[in-house]
Amino acid sequence: MAKYELPKVPYAYDALEPHIDARTMEIHHTKHHQAYTDGLNNALATQSPEIQNMELTKLLANLDKVAENVRGAVNFHGGGYENHALFWNSMKPNGGGKPGSGILDAINSVFGNFDSFKEKFTKDTIAIQGSGWGWLTYNPQGKKVEFTTMPNQTSPRTKGLVPLLGLDVWEHAYYLKYQNRRADYVNAWWNVINWDEVDNRLSKAKS
Ligand code: MN3
């Protein structure tokens, strides 16, 4: 059984230059994302058809259903699989700027205004210790967006949150171009965000 395949990146590896360089994109996708894909398939291979056939988003939100001996692997590789698929699709060449009305209203109602949100996301994501992600999520309980950081590849879904926009701050995401300058990478990333995609995710999460 090899249910999961490496998802496509919807633009060329050099399309996000100069903000994210082609070599980083290529290695990040073909090596790192591939490794999460393989790791997820391997972990699920030992599980029942019921678990194997469960939607990944559901699986990540219900890790207690997975046998204990592979739970950590499904958390890590399953999170890594979905996080990266979301990541590629939430970027585009000539992206950035301010988001459209739906997501902007949601951001404004929680953070006051877009600049305050951007400042918090930037500051708290740069401050992540070790490897992890900064996330704008939708909380279906509170019916509002929220910012959270997650360690390693753990999905926001494990906390009942729907991921809307995530930034990977593992060193593999930026070290070739930015070396130790994580802040420069985070600041550059705002220029490639695909806000239409983020807005679509919010609409879906609310419906
Ligand atoms: Mn990564």
Q: Is 33 helix (H, G, I), strand (E, B) or coil?
A: helix
pLDDT tens string 135-179: 999 999 999 999 999 999 999 999 999 999 999 999 999 999 999
Measured in Å, residue 88 CA sits from the centre of ligand 1 at: 10
Return phi, psi of residue 22, to 5°: -60, -40
Measured in Å, residue 32 CA sits from the centre of ligand 1 at: 6
Confidence of residue 2 (pLDDT cuts 50, 70, 90): low
User: Which option is the CATH number for 101-206: 3.40.50.300, 3.55.40.20, 3.30.420.340, 3.40.190.80?
Assistant: 3.55.40.20
Measured in Å, residue 63 CA sits from the centre of ligand 1 at: 21
Measured in Å, residue 80 CA sits from the centre of ligand 1 at: 7
What's the fold here for domain 22-89?
A: Helix Hairpins (1.10.287)
Distance, CA of 157 to CA of 59 (rounded, Å) = 9
Q: Give the long-range contacts of residues 11-17, CB within 8 A, separation 24 or more.
A: 11/92, 11/93, 15/92, 15/93, 16/91, 16/93, 16/192
Cis upstream peptide for 18 (omega within 30°): yes
Name the segment(s) of the chain with CATH classification 1.10.287.990.
22-89
**What's the confidence (pLDDT) of residue 82?**
98
In sequence order, the β-bridge partners of residue 147 are 136
**What's the confidence (pLDDT) of residue 101?**
84
Name the segment(s) of the chain with CATH classification 3.55.40.20.
101-206
